[in-house]
Amino acid sequence: MLALTPVLVAVVCILILWIFKAADRSSETKKREPQTQPWEDEDLKDSTDLHPVEEDAEEQQESEEHVEHIPFSHTRYPEEEMVKRAQEFYELLSKRRSVRSISSEPVPMEVIDIVIKTAGTAPSGAHTEPWTFVVVKDPDRKHQIREIIEEEEEINYMRRMGPRWVTDVKKLRTNWIKEYLDKAPVLILIFKQVHGFAANGKKKTHYYHEISVAIACGILLAALQNAGLVTVTTTPLNCGPRLRELLGRPPHEKLLMLLPVGYPSKEATVPDLRRKTLGEIMVKV
């Protein structure tokens, strides 16, 4: 009997050890779960890519260092004209507003082509041009996009607002009903290519892809405003993978932004917001 005790103690100890390990693993799993804030986009974690591509260790040899250099040609304006041009461009862009009430009237598609070409002049990390602009005109496709986005938005709002808001449904509905997705004659969905492909089929890193594509979107917004079209900059929460599949885009492309584009509807209103002054956004050293 006494001889059995050490064995018993050993078994108990191993049991304790095993329980501790198990508890540890589960707490670790919890730690690794995405701590998503309500406004954080789960799309950035979209991993519907079933065939991961191998990375190319030699890729730096493909860099732009080997490209021939040519003289830079520059148009210089007299100082007075620089100020005038800058001021006119400021006045044009200061009138830009996010417009959610868009008329269904068609827009000239030639203008859409040109503004997207303009966005494509943006700089990008190592000149990778990691953007795809998907232009949707087809009413059925637009409606499918709307359904996906409204479904996800409803979930987002419910989750974010919690039970104290759920009774006030009428007020909330205005937040997730996106009529402009059906009405706007054109939707532009902007995808960032999180990597590219080298000549040998391996992954090619896209340096700073998100920043590059957002810069291109800034230029696109300026080009739309310059052409007399309106839009609203939207980042549909968590809809990326479904929209990507709907539009047949490959897994290395992730949705960054969606712009419904058109003319403003006659009854369009905008919130009476002020912008920060120059003194509030600029510091001189």
Site for its own copies in 210-269 (CB under 8 A): 210-211, 214-223, 226-230, 232-233, 235, 247, 249, 256-257, 263-264, 268-269
What single letter denotes the amino acid at residue 124?
S
Nearest approach, Cβ of residue 249 and its own copies (Å): 8
Task: Verify binding: residue 75, its own copies, rule CB under 8 A.
Answer: yes
Nearest approach, Cβ of residue 189 and its own copies (Å): 9
| Alpha-carbon gap, residue 162 to 102, rounded angstroms | 31
Helix (H) or strand (E) holding 166: helix 163-166
Q: Which is nearer to its own copies, 151 or 268 (CB)?
A: 268
Task: Verify binding: residue 14, its own copies, rule CB under 8 A.
Answer: yes
Nearest-10 Cα torsion for 141, 142, 148, 151: -140
Nearest approach, Cβ of residue 150 and its own copies (Å): 18
**Neighbouring residues of 197: CB distance < 8 A, sequence distance ≥ 6:** 53, 203, 204
Nearest approach, Cβ of residue 276 and its own copies (Å): 5
- Sign of the four-CA dihedral 152, 179, 214, 93: negative
Q: Which is nearer to its own copies, 50 or 67 (CB)?
A: 67
Task: Verify binding: residue 89, its own copies, rule CB under 8 A.
Answer: yes
Using CB under 8 A, which residues numbered 144 to 173 contact its own copies? 160-161
Closest C-alpha among 201, 153, 141 to residue 177 = 153
| Alpha-carbon gap, residue 36 to 100, rounded angstroms | 27
DSSP 159: H
Using CB under 8 A, which residues numbered 126 to 145 contact its own copies? 127, 129, 131-138, 141
| Alpha-carbon gap, residue 44 to 239, rounded angstroms | 10
Stretch that binds its own copies, among 113-121, 147-155, 176-184, 196-204 (CB under 8 A): 113-121
Q: Which is nearer to its own copies, 151 or 247 (CB)?
A: 247
Q: Which is nearer to its own copies, 49 or 113 (CB)?
A: 113
What single letter denotes the amino acid at residue 233?
T
